[in-house]
């Protein structure tokens, strides 16, 4: 007997789209609220880039001291914001977590937002992932990842180190 994967076997992906760009304090607050929801497996923030250096014009090469490029703490992990947060992508394990994410957003955001369901973060490794992480062996073509959750959370074209924070789940620790 062959087991076929049903639609419910796949994690559900949500896009939280606030109607405004988020300040670092608000981004930290909403990410921590979403992190507390049971069933959330991964989150990804997206938005306008905050560069470290001026890339063109008369000030090329000089430092950019943007006030929104700060260190925030989410789920016991500290990392520097490299973007002005515009979208938050959340992957949850089941339907029951969707309302928890909606409630977390309502508590943390003092303005309207949209919560959409769809496919936003890749689930399977691509050719770029094989090039970046390598193979386990010549006979086994699966990629060598410590944690499958990092798929789709890194920028393959980034010149600098990736700003990625993995928080261990309670069942894995």
**73 and 146 both lie in a single domain:** no
> What CATH number should be reported for the domain holding residue 77?
3.30.70.100
Tens digits of residue pLDDT in 115-157: 999 998 877 777 766 666 665 544 455 555 555 666 666 565 5
**54 and 26 both lie in a single domain:** yes
Tens digits of residue pLDDT in 93-105: 999 999 999 999 9
CA distance 151 to 13: 14
| Domain interval for residue 112 | 10-121
**107 and 142 both lie in a single domain:** no
**54 and 102 both lie in a single domain:** yes
In a domain, residue 93? The reply is yes
**15 and 85 both lie in a single domain:** yes
**39 and 102 both lie in a single domain:** yes
**102 and 136 both lie in a single domain:** no
pTM, to two decimals: 0.75
The number of distinct structural domains making up the chain is: 2
Q: Left if phi > 0, otherwise alpha if psi is -120 to 50, otherwise beta: which for 84?
A: beta
């Amino acid at each position: 007997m062959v087991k076929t994967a049903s639609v419910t076997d796949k994690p559900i992906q949500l896009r939280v789209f606030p109607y405004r760009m988020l300040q670092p304090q608000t981004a930290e607050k909403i990410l921590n609220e979403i992190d507390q929801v049971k069933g959330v497996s991964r989150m990804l923030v997206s938005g306008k880039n905050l560069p470290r250096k001026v890339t063109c014009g008369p000030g090329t090469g000089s430092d950019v001291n943007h006030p929104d490029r700060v260190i925030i703490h989410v789920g016991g992990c500290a990392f520097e914001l490299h973007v002005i947060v515009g979208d938050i992508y959340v992957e949850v394990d089941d339907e029951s977590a969707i309302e928890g994410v909606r409630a977390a957003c309502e508590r943390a955001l003092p303005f309207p937002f949209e919560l959409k369901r769809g496919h936003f973060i890749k689930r399977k490794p691509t050719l770029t992932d094989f090039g970046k992480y390598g193979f386990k062996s010549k006979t086994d073509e699966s990629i060598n990842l410590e944690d499958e959750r990092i798929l789709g959370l890194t920028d393959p074209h980034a010149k600098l180190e990736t700003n990625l924070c993995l928080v261990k789940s309670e069942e894995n620790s």
